[in-house]
A = this chain, B = another copy of it.
Amino acid sequence: MPYVNIKVTDEGVTKEQKAKLIKGVTDLLQEVLDKDPNTTFVVINEVALEDWGIGGLQVDEYRKLHSS
């Protein structure tokens, strides 16, 4: 009965992409650990760019710096 939480930046992830993530993770847990999909939960959180930090900076600032 796995529980999986996926956090990604909030940048227009579609319902179809979320469905693929849910299906993909659930299949993976069945293949690798023989977990029953009916007791596998997946929760996706989209996080605003200003709420995610990397390199000591918010993601939008970090990207400006690293793309220049």
Chain A residues with CB under 8 Å of chain B are 1-9, 13, 15, 17-29, 31-33, 35, 37-47, 50-59, 61
Partner of A59, one of B1, B4, B31: B1
Instruction: Kindly provide the distance from the CB of A62 to the nearest chain B CB, expressed in whole angstroms.
Output: 9
Interface centre among A1, A13, A59 (most CB of B within 10 A): A1
Q: A8-B33, A33-B13 are in contact. Are A18 and B56 (CB under 8 A)?
A: no
A3 touching B13 by the CB < 8 A rule?
A: no
In the assembled complex, which residues on chain B have CB atoms less than 8 Å from the CB atom of A39?
A: 39, 54
In the assembled complex, which residues on chain B have CB atoms less than 8 Å from the CB atom of A22?
A: 53, 56-58
Partner of A57, one of B23, B35, B51: B23
